[in-house]
Amino acid sequence: MKEYSDPAALKSAARVHLFGNYGVTVRAYIWMNAILLILSWLFASMNIKGAGSLISVYIFYIVRILLAGVFMSGMAYIFLNIASSRPVYPGMIFYGFRQSTDRAVLVCIVISLGETIGCIPLIIFLKRYLADRNSVYIIPLVLSVLIAIAGYLVVHAYFMPAYYVIHDFPDYSFVEVIKLCPRIMQGSILRAIYLNLSFIPMMLLSIISLGAGAPWTESYRYASFCEMYLDIMKKGK
**Inside any domain, residue 104:** yes
31 lies in some domain: yes
Three-state SS across 67-108? Answer: HHHHHHHHHHHHHHHHHCCCCCCHHHHHHHHCCCHHHHHHHH
26 assigned to some structural domain: yes
7 vs 24: CA distance, rounded Å: 24
Out of 48-62, 75-89, 131-145, 213-227, least confident range: 48-62
Integer Cα distance of 160 and 237 in angstroms:
15
Residue 39 has pLDDT above 70, yes or no: yes
Domain carrying residue 183: 7-234
Q: Whole-structure pTM over 0.85, yes or no?
A: yes
- Is residue 122 domain-resident? yes
Say whether pLDDT at 57 is over 90: no
Is 169 domain-assigned?
yes
Angle at the Cα of 146 from the Cα atoms of 145 and 151, rounded to 5 degrees: 100
- The region of weakest confidence among 45-59, 110-124, 138-152 is 45-59
Q: Does residue 161 fall inside a structural domain? A: yes
Q: Kindly state whether residue 2 falls inside one of the protein's structural domains.
A: no
Mean pLDDT, the chain, rounded, equals 88
On the CB side of 103, CA atoms within 13 Å amount to 24
pLDDT at 236 over 70: no
For the chain, what is the domain count? 1
Please report whether residue 1 resides in a domain: no
